[in-house]
Each structure stands twice: as structure tokens, then as C-alpha cells.
Amino acid sequence: MKIQKLILAAAIVALAACTTENGTQTVIEKPQVKVEDGRFTPELMWQLGQLTEYAISPSGEKVVYGVKYIDMQQNKGNVELYVMSTTGGEPSRLTVTAASEFSPVWLDDNTILFCRDNSIMMIGADGKGEQVVGEWERGFEGFKLSPDKTLIAYISTIPVEHPEHISSLYRGLDKTTGRINEDLMYRHWDQWVDEIPHIYVAPFDGKKMDVSRAVDMLEGEPYEAPMRPFGGTEQYCFSPDSKKLAYTCRKKTGYEYAHSTNSDIYVYDIESRTDMNISEGIMGYDQNPVFSPDGSMIAWESMERDGYESDKSRLMLMDIATGIRTDLTTNFDYSVGNLCWSEDGRQIVAIVPYRGMYEVFAFAKDGSTIRQLSHGYHDVNGIILKGNDIYAKQVSMQYPPEIYHYALNDDKSAGKKLTTINDEVLAQVRMGKVEEYWIKTVDGKEMLTWLIYPYNFDSTKTYPALLFCEGGPQSMVSQFWSTRWNFAVMSGAEYFVIAPNRRGCPGFGTDWCEQISGDYGGLCMKDYMTATDFFKQNCKYIDPERVGACGASFGGYSIYWLAGHNEDHRFKAFLAHNGMFNFEQQYLETEEMWFDNWDIGGPYWDKSNPQVVKSYAQSPHLFVDKWNTPICVVHSEQDFRIVASEGMAAYNAAQMQHIPSRYLYFPDECHWVLKPQNSLLWHRNFIDWFDKWLKNNK
């Protein structure tokens, strides 16, 4: 089949990783890649460098950043650090090790701190004088340096302590694998909750960190700070005078934790070791605090409603002296994130999901103005503000992350590209064109839909197409780049991709985003059908008889739902990844109960609740008798959000009805497929499955 030829061709140019020897260890190096035919393939995707964390020097003249390269044979990657001028130019490599370096922090203009293994290290910006700053047996997940450079606040973990009546049952059983639980949230996302993160503050003399004197800010408390599964160093910050530390915490465990998103912002006094809740009374997520430059104010991201993880994220501002809180986004119908104060304290810069892109906005502290600083077919994220200069990680559907520069006085700027990590490889690739369409929905609204053209597009031919169903469900189909769902790979396999921002996607106003909750089988599904039919009828290059659909998470649910409502054979093949199949099963198997309680309405046994009755009636398993289309199911064992039995049940339902079907199962992946070889198998299977039903049966 055609897929086999593509795989073999790509393997020749891409799968031979470059390595060097450093002592007895092998260092994964940047590969030498030659693309023979300009096609972007899964193999090529995994040969690209992956920009990780970065930091700007105190003077603003230099940037340190990490780049990860993958060795497919070793099935792992390695991050090395580089330094370059913030005006651009050639970077200098700082590290050459088999271990990955992460969390770079500038000590001064000539010295960088970073993490490696269970150590915090120090190295000169010239790559010389590497030494150990501090070591900790439980390791570090990241750290921050206080403004006066006398303290380091790092993240590490503590073991979860079980009550004595449980611990006593394990005495003398050092080889048992059994787990005893008497509460909820005993596993989360992809991990059993055996340990939780805490923030430690340790003295630092400029060369050494005294870990023996480190203070656990939540000593004796069984709470997470930062919050799992995604929280990191962005969830806490030092005050400008280095005397206080603001942090995010949801002070709940077990049943309460599983049912609530109510986290708060606490201000911890380092000398007295006491803290104060400054967001008390706000019932949703409060997170990611940042002090103003003079220390008089704190800004943070705040959600209003408990249990709604996708509520509008407001820009909350508090005057520390008066305790007065102000929402700077009261009249702004979009969420904010990645907050940064301007040097003069008059503006707050943030990332905003805005009409299909993630853009940079500036909010005046007095609420007088809101300005859009960036604009383009891109996603801007990971911003750092240094004086008038804004640095960002930027991606699009056609290129992976690079560092870009913007300015505080910009007006819808396209930005200036600084790094060129993958330019040499991408210059050899012919990416499919991306077009923006605003399509009329069944209720007269306008829906942004991306259309991605196939590789080597020929206007004299027709092509198969794939409808991409977004996950989330409250997640925008933006100009993202991913090694999991990559539109360039789909285009490279010679498919059109139809990618709608259906009901439930943020970035198009609160009403549009909130319509999906409690109505999974409603307008959002009609949006998918509308977008598909629009391009079938209006794009003469798409063969209307060769359209498939794919998606993960809520997108996987969407595939199962569409499979049960495909009487007109709108779609000829499906692929569902880690999707919800049986809502009753899902409700009792997932771990974050607040999600199902909000979006589904609550437990299925609450028959008196009209939303519950409506939601569970939209469960895909109720429509399997109407399935009539080939379907591939993918699921992973370590997915604790939507457990593997959901995928097995869907696959078995297809098999028992003799519907052509395939099941791809990963015992060691989570809600995402992250390991390189697993990912490559995932992509090869994806292309092979759709080629089988949309190309080879033509």
C-alpha cells in the first residue's frame, strides 16, 4: 500500500539519529536530515528539534533556551541548553550530556542556573565553570530565584501518608502490589496519587543552596502546590522585596478535591511562615499570581464558578493595602493567561484565545484600554516581558515552536523571529496551504473553520478529506503544532483537513463556548455536519465520497456519536482516540468528578434532573445499532480521565456487529501518546487506516 512506501522513504532520511559519546553515556544530537520529495511525514516530524523552556537575561541581551532531539531507536529524547543574543544570530551550545537540562534561570548576565537529574546546577553563559548548586534525593520539578538572589523556591514531592489502620495492613508485605483506598482522587490523569508536590524555600549564597535548611511551605498539610496535573513554577512567585511568596493551592483532598475546582491564591510570609488567602470567596480556579513591580498589587487568573474548569479566565487585580479586587475583563468576552506586568506597573500583558489564534493583549491597570499587540496565523504563548520587549514561543499549523520578539507598543504585529531551530529542515518541505473560512451554522451563527490543503496539491485532481473533531471539549482549534495531532502530517499523507471551531470552543465569546455543556449531541454535532457538507458542496477538489472523521477525547466521543448518526453515509471511515463511549460507565470510572458533574449534569441515577436525562440520552453506546461505517479505536491504559474500557467497549461493539474495525491499544500511554515509537506507530496506523478506506477502495 502507499503508506508503506511513504514510511520506507522517510525512514531512509530520518530515522538514523546522531549521537556522540560523553564519558560512558550516549548524547542524542541534532540529526542530519535530507527530505527527498518535500513531503512532511511522521518520521520527519520526530526529527525536528523541540523548543522547551527559555529565559531572558537580566539585561535583556541574551536568551537561554532548551532544545530536545529524539532518538527513535532509544525511544527517548534529550534536552540541551543554548544561549544566543536577543537580537538573533547563531546560538552557542552550553551543555553536552545524556541527561536533560530544564528550568533555566539567570543568576546574572553571565551565569545560568538549571536543573539536571536530582541537582540544581550552575554554568557560565560561555559554557564554562559548571558546578552543583544543590542536590535533593526526591529531585526538582523546577525552581525560581528570589529577586534579591538569596533564596531559591523549588518544587519537589512528599509521599502521601496513609492512616495507621491502613498502613498496619502492609506490615511484613514488602512485595505486595495491592492498593487500599477509602477516598476519591486516588489516581489523577496518568498517575496513582502516591506523592504530591510542595514548594520549598531554601537559602542561597550565590553559589550553593542549603537544602538542609529548606522550609516546606505546606509542611504537615496534605495539599498540592502547584496543582496536578499541569501546574509548575508559573503557579507561584516572589514579591519584589523577596519577603513574601504568592502561590496557588486547592486546599482539598479526596472526595472534596474530586468534586471542586475551587483553588485560591495564598500569600506566604517567609519570615513568619504564615500565609493569607487573598482570593477567598471566589469559587472557581484562582491561579498563577504575579506581583506588580512595586509589590503593591497582585494579578492572577480567576474563574468565577466552582466545578467549571472551562469558565472564563478573568484578569483579577488586587490592591494589597486595601484588599480591593478588580476584574479587568468585565467587559472583555475572552479568557486570559500567562500574565506579565510592564516595568512601570501600568499595564498587564496576557495571552488571549481570540478568534482561532492565541494572541498577545495589553490591559491598562486602570481599565481604560485593551490593546491587541500581535496578529497573524499563529499561536503565541509562553511570553516573557523585559522592559518594552516581549518574547514568546510561537507556532502555527506549518511550523513548530520558535522564539519570537514583540514590543509593548506594537499594534497587531506579526512579530520578529529570533531562533531558527528547524529552518534547515523545513526549507526542504512543501507544506499544505491553510485557509480560513467563516461558515453559516444551522442557527445562523458564523463558525471559523480551517481548511488545510494536501501536500503537492494539484488543482486537476480530487482528494479525500478528514474532518478533525477537537477535544476538550472547551478547547480552541487554533494554529497549534503538536506531535500528537499534526495537520502537516495529515496534509503530507495527501488529505484535505476540515477543522471547525464548533460550539464549545473558546475564543469566540462566552455564549459560544458555554453552549456545549449539557448538550454534547446538540448544536456542536450539527456544526460538524455543517462544516463537512459545506466543503463537500463548495470545494471541488474534495471528493464527497471519500470523507472520513477523526478525533480524541471529546473528539473521540464525537466520532462515536457521528458513527451512530451516519445514516446518509456522510463519512466513509472513522478513527476515535481515547473517547467517551458509555456515559454511565464513564461517570463512575473517571477521577475529576467536577467535569462530569458540570458538563453532563451529574450522576446518571439522578433521574429528577432534566439535564442528566438529556445528557445520558446522548451517550454513543445507545446508538451502536445504527453503526454502519469502518471504525478504528485507539485507547491507552494509563488514561485515568477516560479509561481504557471505554475504547474496548466501542471496539467490541463494532466487532460484534461485523463492522470493519481495528483496535490500537497502548499499555504504557496516558490521555496522550507521548513515547516516540508509540507515536510513530500511532501515526502510521492513522494513515494506513484512512488510506485503506478512503484511497485504496476508490
Catalytic residue (choose from 671, 679, 688, 691): 671
Q: Omega before 197 cis (within 30°)? A: no
Catalytic residue (choose from 156, 553, 619, 661): 553
Ramachandran quadrant class, 404 (left: phi over 0; alpha: psi -120 to 50; beta: rest)? beta
Asked if residue 420 lies in contact with residue 78, where contact means CB atoms within 8 angstroms, the answer is no
Annotated active-site residue 639? The verdict is yes
d(CA 423, CA 692): 34
Residue with cell 543554548: 82
**594: enclosing H helix or E strand:** helix 593-599
How crowded is residue 458: how many other Cβ atoms within 10 Å of its Cβ? 10
Asked if residue 193 lies in contact with residue 209, where contact means CB atoms within 8 angstroms, the answer is no
Sorted by sequence, the CB contacts under 8 Å of residue 80 that are 6+ apart come out as 27, 66, 67, 69, 93, 94, 95, 96, 97, 101
Asked if residue 291 lies in contact with residue 247, where contact means CB atoms within 8 angstroms, the answer is no
Q: Closest by alpha carbon to 554, among 609, 476, 617, 482?
A: 476
d(CA 483, CA 481): 7
Q: What is the CA radius of gyration of the chain?
A: 25
242-270 burial, b at 16+ Cβ within 10 Å, e below that, comes to bbbbbbbbbbbbeeebbbbbbbbbbbbeb
d(CA 172, CA 537): 70
* Strand pairing report for 50-56 and 25-29: unpaired
DSSP category for residue 292: -
Catalytic residue (choose from 71, 275, 639, 691): 639
Write out the DSSP string of 206-223.
Answer: SS-B-GGG-EETTTT---
Asked if residue 561 lies in contact with residue 473, where contact means CB atoms within 8 angstroms, the answer is no
How crowded is residue 355: how many other Cβ atoms within 10 Å of its Cβ? 16
Hey, what's the cell of 513?
Answer: 463556548
How crowded is residue 537: how many other Cβ atoms within 10 Å of its Cβ? 10
Inter-CA distances, 22 with 83, 104, 342, 412, Å: 21, 22, 43, 46
Asked if residue 385 lies in contact with residue 361, where contact means CB atoms within 8 angstroms, the answer is no
Hey, what's the cell of 184?
Answer: 476519591
d(CA 211, CA 454): 55
Cα 555 from chain centroid (whole Å): 16
Longest dimension (CA), the chain: 75
DSSP category for residue 688: H
Asked if residue 511 lies in contact with residue 608, where contact means CB atoms within 8 angstroms, the answer is no
d(CA 348, CA 292): 9
Q: Which residues are catalytic?
A: 553, 639, 671
